[in-house]
Chains A and B, each alone.
Chain A
Amino acid sequence: MTKSSLSVVIAGIAFKNPVFTASGTFGYGNEFKNYTDLNKLGAIVVKGLSLAPRQGNPGPRIVETPCGMLNAVGLQNVGVDAFIKEKLPFLKKLKTHTIANIFGETISDYVEVARRLDFAGGVAALEINISCPNVKKGGIVFGTDPNEAHKVVSAVRAATKLPIITKLSPNATDIKVMVRAVEDAGSDAVSLINTITGMVIDIAKRRPALATKTGGLSGPAIRPIAVRMVYEAATVAKTPIIGMGGIMNAQDALQFIMAGAAAVQVGTASFVDPDAAVKVVGGIEDYVTRNKTSVRGLIGAARG
């Protein structure tokens, strides 16, 4: 079995393996350099970047749930300019791709962030997080309204030559409609799922456990939902799918690939084990070797 049995091509980019880190769970990469071999990753997807730095939400920001966790970090990040100046030089030196996850409160925010990253160089692709409220549209979340999603992706498409991955929200009514909308707007791939809105109540304090009341659920608790959504998305998608949600090991990752994903992202698992994503690479390699196949040969294998 050659190394290339792991490689995949998405949005014109060749990835040496299909395992990426998920945005918001791997910082800007450098935080993990002492814990894992960054060069073994298919790609590093960095923490969501906005035009201006964001301080994030008050605490408590996280609470553990059965087989998962809720987070309400509030998209705290250093901002696109500090990312380019302070974080990107380290990432450029690695033998893996950097994918910049971006978000905004208005369409013009998204566009400007995309432009600056395009200009900076060293970023392989953009991942547009559309699970954010549009402040100019009364806070309606881009990712739950196909028209809004279409608008934001079209605008970013016009502003950059970089490949675009659109990260879909599981809180949309019909994921298939969202896939079509963003593909029509020029998205080169879709990634899903982002976190699912949830709540925990602290019965001693008689109030929600998180300061913001609700938060995003991640971890193994959401995996069956995520696999189902990837499977559904694959029924209509013309572009590659990147699947995620609760992946802890290679077996979990293979479920997503067999449901139709060309690659996967490892999120919450990196908190439990900072080497988790690299272990997933190893486990997938074992599987394809043992079964004399390739990752490409497994994509959508569970589809009738």
Chain B
Amino acid sequence: MKVQTAKILYNKEAAPGYFRIGLSWKKPAIKAGQFVMLRVDTGGDYPLRLDPLLRRPLGVYRSIGAGVELLYQVVGKGTRILSEKTAGEFLSLLGPLGNGFPAPPKGKKVILVAGGMGIASLFMFAARLKGATLLFGARAKAETAVADDFKRLGLKIKISTQDGSVGKKGLVTELLKDEITDDSVVYACGPAGMLKAVSRICHSGGVTCRVSLERAMACGIGVCLGCAVKTNPHAGRSDNRVYQMICSDGPVFDAGDIDWDAF
């Protein structure tokens, strides 16, 4: 769990604005759903670049022979700088961090729900499941470039896009309404609005739902208290904290624990 310097093995555009980056990492013991904090700077001891200052949280997409592959979308200055890095350069990496997804209970029908880049946090988990269904919602076709990776795992896949360029036109929550049954268990990762809606659908069906949440992070290790998410008062918890930290208590939470009105 120390900070390490990782060599970039490759950094290639999978679809316009979407990159796969391979990082060297000896024997990473990573749980599905965990993430890393990357400094988009050189791997040296002192940060040379003070802007952007903070590390960027990215989920671990999958393990590859010599390390890990991450999947990211260019959204701002950090991910833009990252996209300009080339094989052979170094990055400073902190991780793996966070709790990861708990294994599904036996005999349940497992449904994965991904919205946009939320797909990145689900691959390692999906790789361990048999007979699961992936519902993948995206804005347009470009975002669904990695769907083939999931197909190769043998998952049943249903896609929806907002522009109808591939799959069903509309929101992924519509797919979920058709798919969900009493004996389902749902794992979701994606934008806040989608997670709220997924959580509502699961709640009204009495279905267990785990969500992987995102919020701006400074430390990634539970000390800056910046990534707080408001949770419901919960009798089962040993403390009575109102706020949980997404980086160290999560990023995966039971959807029933989250105060969605405050999210």
A residues neighboring B (CB under 8 Å): 24-27, 31-32, 34-35, 55-64, 66-69, 71, 73, 76, 219-220, 248-249, 268, 270-275, 279
Contacts and interface: CB of A to CB of B under 8 A. Distances in A.
B225 A56 contact: yes
A64 B53 contact: yes
Interface string B233-263: 0000000011100000000000000000010
Contact of B53 (A24, A27, A272): A272
Nearest to A55: B242
Contact of B223 (A25, A59, A69): A25
Give the most central of A25, A64, A273: most B CB within 10 Å: A64
A60 B263 CA distance: 9
Contacts of B226: 61-62, 71, 73
Contacts of B45: 279
Interface string B40-58: 0000011100111111000
Given A27-B223, A219-B50, A279-B46, 8 more contacts: A35-B1, A59-B243, A64-B54, A71-B226, A73-B225, A270-B223, A271-B219, A274-B219
Contacts of B219: 270-271, 274
A60 B246 CA distance: 12
B247 to A, nearest CB: 11
A34 B54 contact: no
Interface in B1-30: 1-3
Nearest to B45: A279
Give 8 nearest A-B pairs by CB, closest first: A62-B226, A27-B223, A271-B219, A271-B218, A55-B242, A67-B50, A73-B225, A220-B50
B68 to A, nearest CB: 20
Contacts of A60: 215-216
A58 B231 CA distance: 11
Interface residues of B, number: 34
16 contacts: A25-B224, A57-B228, A60-B215, A62-B224, A62-B227, A63-B216, A64-B216, A67-B51, A71-B226, A73-B225, A73-B228, A76-B225, A248-B47, A271-B223, A272-B54, A273-B39
A289 to B, nearest CB: 18
B221 to A, nearest CB: 6
B135 interface: no
Contacts of A274: 3, 94, 219, 221
B222 interface: yes
Contacts of A249: 46
A62 B216 contact: yes
A73 B243 CA distance: 11
Give the most central of B216, B221, B226, B229: most A CB within 10 Å: B226
B139 interface: no
B50 to A, nearest CB: 5
A35 B2 contact: yes
Contacts of A273: 3, 39, 47, 92
Interface in B41-87: 45-47, 50-55
Given A31-B223, A34-B2, A63-B216, A58 B51 contact: no
Contact of B55 (A57, A62, A272): A272
Nearest to A273: B3
Contacts of A35: 1-3, 221
Contacts of A61: 225-228
Nearest to B228: A59
B2 A68 contact: no
A23 to B, nearest CB: 11
Nearest to A280: B46
B230 interface: yes
Contact of A219 (B1, B53, B215): B53
A26 B2 contact: no
Contact of A272 (B47, B215, B243): B47
Give the most central of A56, A57, A274: most B CB within 10 Å: A274
Contact of A220 (B53, B55, B215, B222): B53
Contact of A248 (B50, B92, B222, B223): B50
A244 to B, nearest CB: 16
Given A59-B228, A64-B53, A68-B53, A31 B221 contact: yes
A69 B225 contact: no
